[in-house]
Amino acid sequence: MSLQVKDLTISYGSNVVLKDINFTIQDNTIIGLVAPNGTGKTTLFNAIIRFIPINKGQIIVDGKVYKNTTRDVRALHKLVTFFPDQAELYEDFTGVEHIQMYRDIWNPEEKDVQKIIDRLNMDGYVRDKVKTYSLGMRQRLCFAMMIAANTKIMFMDEIMNGLDPVNVELVSRVLQEIKEEGKIIIVASHLLGNLDDYSDEIYFLNNKDVYFSYDRKTNTREFIKGYVSKDKLEALQPLPADTLYLETDRICIPLDGFEHDYDRFEVVELLRSLSDEEVSIGVLGTQEHYLRIYKGEQSLEPDTSDGEGGQTDEDDETVTGYTAEESGTRKSRRREETSVADSDTRF
């Protein structure tokens, strides 16, 4: 199965919300959707399931174009489910009744919902009325309803909202399991680090379009990732091309910008000395791309202003204790002092 959105444009009067959006998703795929408020996420979902009129473009499932006719909309809704809003739950119904209701609408052949209840560890409360549920219990119920529907295409908006870390891990694992049943799943979430745990590809909505996407299987370029304040940047100079300096003082330095392992090791140790934050090595994740796309990059030029946190004309020394001359000769000096054992270091 495949889902294709072709040349999709949505506007309300002169206000264009989405413009010429194109993507194709194959089955056995989870797409993580990053879409800050106002970028058109809800509009995109509603357009795909034909809840709203489309100004231009096509929604195509398995080669069939689904138009805005009663027959096509009904057929499309047999293939697609949208994550329920907690406000749609019936307070005086039990969790079991909700799960059975979604099963009866979309998947009546399935007689036993108990395996869904067991899979999501809901047996302790699922027969109680929903009005007794906590936020996290309601959220797991909504997820269980989606599993009971068992449609080929699933849209899940803020699925992790209200879940504790144990249940975030549980739902993430189940998402990966049901994906393997041939499903297309789009998960919109503000829990950015968690998207990297289960998504195959990440889409970023911005400027009325899928502004950027990356495939986690092919996204293999590794970076040294840490934090450094602007007034301490000079200690890291010179920095390789493609170094990213992001909001929150996040810095990402490409590993392939260094010829030798000992240069990489030195930068890791230097970052650790400049900040108490964790230093890691890995590919750019959703968090880094989010900062780059929505917050922008900071200049890599060191802060040379006078006063606290800056340099003085008298001694030209940074708050880290490195002089400009020492920082500029850091790499060459390290090569002279590094032993053979250091050169065998692997990251």
Rounded to whole angstroms, how far apart are CA atoms 23 and 214?
Answer: 12
pLDDT of residue 305: 59
On the question of a cis peptide bond just before residue 165, with omega within 30 degrees of 0, the verdict is: no
Residue with tokens 């301490």: 232
pLDDT at 313: 40
CB-CB contact of 268 with 222 (8 Å): no
Helix (H) or strand (E) holding 19: strand 15-26
Of 339, 136, 311, whose CA–CA distance to 232 is shortest?
311
Q: Please state the φ and ψ torsions of residue 61, each to the nearest 5 degrees.
A: -120, 120
Q: Which residues of the chain have pLDDT under 50?
A: 307-347
> Looking at residue 182, what is its pLDDT?
95
Contacts of 98-104 with C-beta under 8 Å, sequence gap 24+, read: 98/130, 98/141, 98/144, 98/145, 99/126, 99/141, 99/144, 99/145, 99/148, 100/148, 101/145, 102/145, 102/146, 102/148, 102/149, 103/148, 103/149, 103/150
User: Looking at residue 110, what is its pLDDT?
Assistant: 85
The predicted structure's pLDDT at residue 304 = 61
Q: What is the value of pTM for the model shown?
A: 0.83
Long-range contacts for 162-169 (Cβ within 8 Å, ≥24 apart)?
A: 162/134, 162/135, 162/136, 162/138, 163/136, 163/139, 164/136, 167/136, 167/140, 168/194
User: Taking the alpha carbons of 228, 231, 233, 234 in that order, is the dihedral positive or negative?
Assistant: negative
Length of the chain: 347
Residue 267: the pLDDT is 95
Q: Copy the structure tokens of residue 323.
A: 């002089």
